[in-house]
Amino acid sequence: MREIEELMTPDQVAKKLNLAKSTVYAMAHRGLIPAIKLGKSLRIRPEALVKFLEQQEKKSYGIAA
């Protein structure tokens, strides 16, 4: 069984990526950033965010994933 890691809030992700919190919510809502809905709260796994950013970096430079 996987160990439970500390999940990030949209506010924490926004600060880390230097984005507006509304942008993080919009990206999660569109399925661009992998997110977990817990009741009315949205949370993001740090490892999922890193993987997402790596994929974006590869796409931006035309490197095959």
**Element (DSSP H or E) covering residue 37:** strand 36-38
Region of 60 (left: φ > 0; alpha: ψ -120 to 50; beta: rest) is alpha
The answer to whether residue 36 is domain-embedded is yes
The answer to whether residue 4 is domain-embedded is no
pTM: 0.79
The answer to whether residue 2 is domain-embedded is no
The answer to whether residue 49 is domain-embedded is yes
- Please state, in angstroms and rounded to a whole number, the distance separating the CA atoms of residues 21 and 29: 12
The answer to whether residue 24 is domain-embedded is yes
pLDDT single digits (tens) 6-64: 999 999 999 999 999 999 999 999 999 999 999 999 999 999 999 999 888 876 666 55
What does the pLDDT read at residue 57?
Answer: 81
Range of the domain at 52: 10-60
Task: List 36's β-bridge partners, or say none.
Answer: 43
Q: How many domains does the chain have?
A: 1
- Please state, in angstroms and rounded to a whole number, the distance separating the CA atoms of residues 8 and 38: 12
Task: List 41's β-bridge partners, or say none.
Answer: 38
